[in-house]
Amino acid sequence: MLLLSSPNMGGNELKYVTECITTGWVSSVGAFVNKFEEVTAEFTGASYAVATSSGTTALHTALVMLGVNHNDLVIVPNITFIASVNSIKYTGASPVLIDVNKDDWQMDLDLLEEFLKKETEVRNETCYHIKSGKRIPVIIPVHVLGNMCDMERLMELATQYHLAVLEDSTEALGSFFNGKHAGTFGLMGTFSYNGNKIITTGGGGMIVTNDEALAKRAKHLTTQAKADPFEYFHDETGYNYRLVNVAAAMGVAQMEQLPDFLKRKKEIIAFYKKELEGVGDISFQKVDARVNPNWWMPTIATEKQRIILEALNSNKMQSRPLWIPMNRLPMFKDDIYYQHSDISWFLYERCLSIPCSTNITDDDLRAVSDKIKGCFSK
């Protein structure tokens, strides 16, 4: 089976993991955890990085730190992986789902602005949803598939409406807007290292921030909020959300290869674009000139989506539709969905992600694109 996005473990992973096992430093205290945080901060340009057990726990921790609770609403795009919205629900808050843009598939900023203008009011430097009376303290832009929206405009809107920005950059390690790394625009950004991400630790995540107090609190909260080095004194309800050293060891080895992985992702998208653009109605996600995306997951849009999905998967070339829009899931069907023409559904019915592992061969890329082209020659 040619996997959609499989781990590429060709570097020092085994060496560093072996070091953890032979020294016994396998748990959440260990030099690789600190090292992984250091190299992530350096690569992203963030002042601080705090390693977590997953991207989901990174998001949950960040929302807890922003004081989000059951009286609140949190703004998020309607097209994302479920963890962005689940993490909001974990706090007791509810999402405001904003439809996405037809071109770049990110949160539609015109719709966002219209929602804020028409449906909210600012009192005492706090944004409230007029109809429900609920507070809207946070907005989560998700850098969907490693692409980014106009972060300048989003930050301006967030400032105007007093929204804290938490970037779900889980898919965007190596993506930049105007030369600034994803996850470093808002108060905090999060990353994921699950098996299909551009680098993986098997499972893992990270919070990045420029705020020292937030970084310290993140470390505290993710280690059960233990406030005394000797006694089991915990000063608040914390979580067991810290990354373990064995996983961080893989992360350090993966970060060493990230520049090569990014280069390969760019070659992969260039190949697919050259081969597939102009074939039938195939189109790709549009990218703002100011964005340099990591091209984590090449995805095409076409009316023949289901035919191509069948053709690829039945030929052992793993391919997947886009996530079902959040408003269509039973848990979120009663939450606010702000839209004009349900672009989320339009994209869901057309988009499919195609094999793009960083260790995919050129022959396999050709086999995939030939199979897709074949669906248009009948």
For ligand PLP, the closer of residues 65 and 142 by Cβ is 142
For ligand PLP, the closer of residues 172 and 253 by Cβ is 172
Q: Applying CB under 6 A, does 84 fall inside the site for ligand PLP?
A: yes
For ligand PLP, the closer of residues 28 and 84 by Cβ is 84
Please, which of residues 3-32 interact with ligand PLP by CB under 6 A? none
Residue among 16, 36, 48, 81 that touches ligand PLP (CB under 6 A): 81
Q: How far is the CB of 144 from ligand PLP (least distance, A)?
A: 7
Q: Applying CB under 6 A, does 91 fall inside the site for ligand PLP?
A: no
Q: How far is the CB of 56 from ligand PLP (least distance, A)?
A: 3
Q: Applying CB under 6 A, does 199 fall inside the site for ligand PLP?
A: no
Q: How far is the CB of 166 from ligand PLP (least distance, A)?
A: 11
Q: Applying CB under 6 A, does 194 fall inside the site for ligand PLP?
A: yes
Q: How far is the CB of 177 from ligand PLP (least distance, A)?
A: 17
Q: Applying CB under 6 A, does 201 fall inside the site for ligand PLP?
A: no
Please, which of residues 204-233 interact with ligand PLP by CB under 6 A? 205
Interface mask toward ligand PLP for 158-177; x: CB under 6 A: ----------x-xx------
Whole-Å CA distances, 157 to 30, 113, 131, 148, 169: 41, 7, 20, 16, 19
Q: Which residue is nearest to ligand PLP (CB)?
A: 55
Please, which of residues 41-70 interact with ligand PLP by CB under 6 A? 54-56
Q: Applying CB under 6 A, does 355 fall inside the site for ligand PLP?
A: no
For ligand PLP, the closer of residues 191 and 272 by Cβ is 191
- The number of residues that bind ligand PLP (CB under 6 A) is 14
In the chain, the N- to C-terminal Cα span, in Å, equals 25
Q: Applying CB under 6 A, does 142 fall inside the site for ligand PLP?
A: yes
Please, which of residues 333-352 interact with ligand PLP by CB under 6 A? none
For ligand PLP, the closer of residues 144 and 367 by Cβ is 144
Q: How far is the CB of 366 from ligand PLP (least distance, A)?
A: 28
220-229's contacts with Cβ under 8 Å and 24+ in sequence apart are 221/61, 221/64, 221/65, 222/50, 222/52, 222/53, 222/57, 222/61, 223/28
Q: How far apart are CA 377 and CA 313, in angstroms?
A: 19
3-state secondary structure the chain: CECCCCCCCCCCHHHHHHHHHHHCCCCCCCHHHHHHHHHHHHHHCCCEEEEECCHHHHHHHHHHHCCCCCCEEEEEECCCCCHHHHHHHHCCCEEEEECECCCCCCECHHHHHHHHHHHEEEECCEEEECCCCCEEEEECCECHHHCCCCHHHHHHHHHHCCCEEEEECCCCCCCEECCEECCCCCCEEEEECCCCCCCCCCCCEEEEECCHHHHHHHHHHHECCECCCCCCCECCCCCECECCHHHHHHHHHHHHHHHHHHHHHHHHHHHHHHHHCCCCCCEECCCCCCEECCCCCCEEECCCHHHHHHHHHCCCECCEECCCCHHHCHHHCCCEEECCCCHHHHHHCCEEECCCCCCCCHHHHHHHHHHHHHCCCC
Q: How far is the CB of 244 from ligand PLP (least distance, A)?
A: 14
Q: Applying CB under 6 A, does 285 fall inside the site for ligand PLP?
A: no
Which stretch in 68-76, 78-86, 96-104, 324-332 sits in contact with ligand PLP by CB under 6 A? 78-86
Q: Applying CB under 6 A, does 104 fall inside the site for ligand PLP?
A: no
Q: How far is the CB of 135 from ligand PLP (least distance, A)?
A: 23
Residues lying near ligand PLP in the complex (CB under 6 A) are found at 54-56, 80-81, 83-84, 142, 168, 170-171, 192, 194, 205
